[in-house]
């Protein structure tokens, strides 16, 4: 197979750039038939994917973080095969797809991994791969970026920073004919399990079942949130009776106040958002 690698040197706050030469060395040692270029970012990366497909690439590889994967997927639009070399901060999509975080392991998987058709989410005309979240999780990611915090410690600091001023938004939440209205701590939905750098937010999510897993946390006391939070890292938070997990194909969230919605390392703001699951949309090399 022919691989075209889109390498994002700015991933992980620019630390990815230092791995470029090592990656080239491993690709050559593993005798991969590849071409490589640096990503242009956003719409530029999407155009690069288009060009790679026109030139006959079988696999377009996102070498970067979740945001780079998102850009490549929006260029592929269900065509070709997605490959991943994780170079980001959290690499939640790679973790969910069981892709090694070391360069050699990731390159070997490009040669030997299984090719599966996985579900994608669609939101405001844009595809997303992993988990989209709003409420507390959206605000945490916003503060993490604003404060330039990285890694596990940075995420924890952002959690407690967000907790101080968090206001529980009132939302109308509906999916597949079911509706609910009230104040929420957070809503998260997606086709993968991990979020925020290894947080097992949707522990039973399956990227091949044709449904989003949808988690809703009703308004809870901050102390209860703090007590429950450590359980998220092992996927045991669902024992809390205020946390409900559903499955749905179409999900709509409406609020009187602007919400921050984070997904695949990206963020948007909106008072009304609709998510649609697109079953078995994209071929991907996974572990």
* pLDDT for residue 171: 95
Q: What angle do helix axes 20-29 and 103-112 make, rounded to 10 degrees?
A: 40
| pLDDT score recorded for residue 178 | 86
pTM: 0.91
Write out pLDDT tens, residues 210-269: 999 999 999 998 889 878 878 888 899 999 999 999 999 999 999 999 999 999 988 899
161: its two tokens: 């920073």
For residue 62, give the 3-state DSSP assignment. Answer: strand
Distance CA 21, CA 51 (A): 24
Number of H helices, E strands in the chain: 8, 15
Take residue 75 and report the two structure tokens written for it: 């260029």
The predicted structure's pLDDT at residue 166: 85
Distance of CA 5 to the CA centre of its chain: 19
Residue reference for tokens 């919605």: 261
The pLDDT score that the predictor gives to residue 175 is 92
pLDDT exceeds cutoff 80 at 29: yes
* Number of neighbouring beta carbons within 10 Å of residue 188: 26
Report the alpha-carbon distance of residue 212 to residue 193 in Å, rounded: 11
Could you tell me which of 122, 281, 280 has the C-alpha nearest to residue 208?
280
Look at residues 85, 134, 71 and name the one whose alpha carbon lies nearest to residue 113: 85
65 in Cβ contact with 91 (< 8 Å): yes
Query: Could you give the residue ranges of the DSSP H alpha helices within 151-247?
Result: 151-165, 222-232
Question: pLDDT of 128-185, one tens digit each?
Answer: 999 999 998 888 877 777 776 665 566 677 777 887 778 899 999 999 888 989 999 9
Mean pLDDT of 194-220: 93
Q: Determine the pLDDT at residue 225.
A: 81
150, 164 contact by CB (below 8 A): no
- Each residue of 37-81: pLDDT tens digit? 999 999 999 999 999 999 999 999 999 999 999 999 999 999 999
CA dihedral 141, 143, 148, 151 (to 10 degrees): -40
Instruction: Flag whether pLDDT at 105 surpasses 90.
Output: yes
């Amino acid at each position: 197979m022919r691989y075209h690698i889109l390498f994002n040197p700015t991933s992980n706050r620019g630390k990815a750039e230092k791995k470029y030469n090592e990656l080239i060395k491993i690709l050559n040692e593993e005798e991969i038939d590849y071409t490589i270029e640096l990503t242009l970012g956003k719409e530029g990366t999407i155009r690069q994917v288009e060009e790679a497909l026109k030139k006959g690439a079988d696999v377009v590889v996102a070498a970067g973080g979740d945001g780079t994967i998102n850009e490549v997927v929006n260029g592929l639009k269900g065509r070709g095969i997605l490959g991943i070399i994780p170079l980001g901060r959290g690499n939640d999509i790679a973790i969910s797809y069981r892709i090694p975080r070391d360069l050699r392991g990731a390159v070997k998987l490009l040669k030997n991994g299984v090719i599966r058709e996985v579900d994608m989410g669609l939101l405001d005309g844009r595809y997303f791969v992993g988990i989209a979240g709003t409420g507390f999780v959206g605000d945490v990611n916003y503060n993490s970026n604003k404060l330039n915090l990285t890694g596990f410690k940075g995420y924890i600091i952002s959690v407690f920073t967000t907790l101080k001023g968090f206001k529980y938004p009132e939302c109308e939440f509906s999916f597949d004919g079911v509706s609910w209205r009230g104040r929420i701590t957070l809503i998260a939905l997606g086709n993968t399990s991990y979020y925020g750098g290894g947080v097992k937010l949707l522990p039973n999510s399956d990227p091949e079942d044709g449904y989003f897993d949808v988690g809703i946390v009703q308004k809870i006391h901050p102390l209860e949130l703090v007590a429950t939070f450590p359980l998220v890292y092992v996927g045991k938070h669902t024992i809390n009776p205020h946390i409900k997990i559903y499955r749905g194909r179409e999900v709509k969230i409406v609020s009187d106040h602007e919400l921050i919605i984070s997904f695949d390392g990206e963020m948007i703001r909106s008072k009304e958002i609709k998510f649609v699951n697109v079953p078995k949309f994209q071929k991907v090399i996974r572990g």
